[in-house]
Amino acid sequence: MIAVLSPGQGAQSPGMLAPWLELDGIAGSLSDELDGYADAIGLDLRTLGTTADADTIKDTAVAQPLIVATSLLALSALQARTGDVTGWASATAGHSVGEYAAVAAAGVLPATDALRLVAVRGAAMAQAAAAEATGMSAVVGGDPDEVLAALATHDLVAANVNGGGQIVAAGALSGLAALADDPPAKARVIPLAVAGAFHTKYMAPAVDAVATAAAALTPADPRLTLLSNADGAAVASGADALAALVRQISSPVRWDLCQNTLLESGVQAVIELAPGGVLTGLARRTMRGVETLALKSPADLDAAADLIARHRG
């Protein structure tokens, strides 16, 4: 059994789309696919993914659709070798904005609709982030209960509970600074380069915009088991999947519970779509015995195809 994972914001890097658009045999079809995404959202994804610098693609309104487009392009390249994802994967999940790529992979939305929705999300979250001085910091290590107590002391929340001894604190910059000055025992506090306190009450203004955009879409029921960031449980229907995408904007990501569900379901391997690496790193620490592969570039396609051949069915 294989699960397909999609990374969240922060996974982007300059030039990450370039090798996919140069892939022998299918470069033309991937280029056309990318142009379709770009036309759907009115954003020059080709330039952003090939020549734009790190500061440009760090912008929330840019980073979110660019990451989802990259994940879906990598999935298309993989399917060109291995057949449709439903023939070899049993489940899919995505971290934060990556859940939008997972929804497309599961067939709940066409890729272009998923991109349109995530473009609304990115713009709305960027606007919400600009309203107050907030941010996020990774807290690595320490006793989980002590970490949560320290967050509460500084009026912060656990916006991401990622497993593997990693919790992401979010809230006012003053609270994050105080946490860094007095970290929990045996824990490190690492500021993250994000625009605001995602997955908290500070993102509430973005919820209505995404809910309105989602209401105009017609979802299908998932073709694969699709896990929700909220509680790691399988989403029952297409309508529930869209509702979950809206809710997660201002509520915590429980990636630890997604990983627990995958383990309990008997998943033997996970493939993280480009621009991958973070989720497979977490999986290696918390999903012992599960084979992991990050499809970072076309150079990883052969290894991914081999993994699928060994674990499909």
Q: What is the pLDDT of residues 152-178, one digit of tens each?
A: 999 999 999 998 889 999 999 999 999
* pTM score: 0.94
Do 227 and 93 form a contact (C-beta atoms < 8 A)? yes
How far is 285 from 306, CA to CA, in rounded Å? 23
Q: What is the pLDDT of residue 312?
A: 80
The helix or strand, by DSSP H or E, that contains position 112, with its residue range, turns out to be helix 111-131
Residue span(s) of the chain under CATH 3.40.366.10 come to 2-130+200-311
Catalytic residue among 71, 90, 96, 228: 96
DSSP summary character for residue 188: E
What are 203-247's pLDDT values in tens digits? 999 999 999 999 999 999 999 999 999 999 999 999 999 999 999
CATH architecture of 131-191: 2-Layer Sandwich (3.30)
CB 160 within 8 Å of CB 252:
yes
Where are the CATH 3.30.70.250 domain residues in the chain?
131-191
- How does strand 91-94 pair with strand 269-272? unpaired
Angstrom distance (rounded) from CA 111 to CA 257:
26
CATH code of the domain occupying 2-130+200-311: 3.40.366.10
| 96 part of the active site | yes
Hey, what amino acid is at 230?
Answer: A
Q: Which of 71, 90, 95, 199 is catalytic?
A: 199
Task: Kindly provide the b/e burial profile for residues 105-130, where b requires at least 16 CB atoms within 10 angstroms of the residue's own CB.
Answer: bbbbbebbbbbbbbbbbbbbbbbbbe
Q: Please give the average per-residue pLDDT across 285-293, as a whole number.
A: 93
Phi-psi region of 141 (alpha: psi -120 to 50; beta: other; left: phi over 0): left
Quick one: which of 139, 136, 191, 188 has its CA closest to 162?
139
For residue 183, count other CB atoms closer than 10 A to its CB: 17
Known active-site residue 95: no
Q: Which band of pLDDT confidence, cut at 50, 70 and 90, is reported for residue 10?
A: confident
- What mean pLDDT comes out for the span 15-39? 93
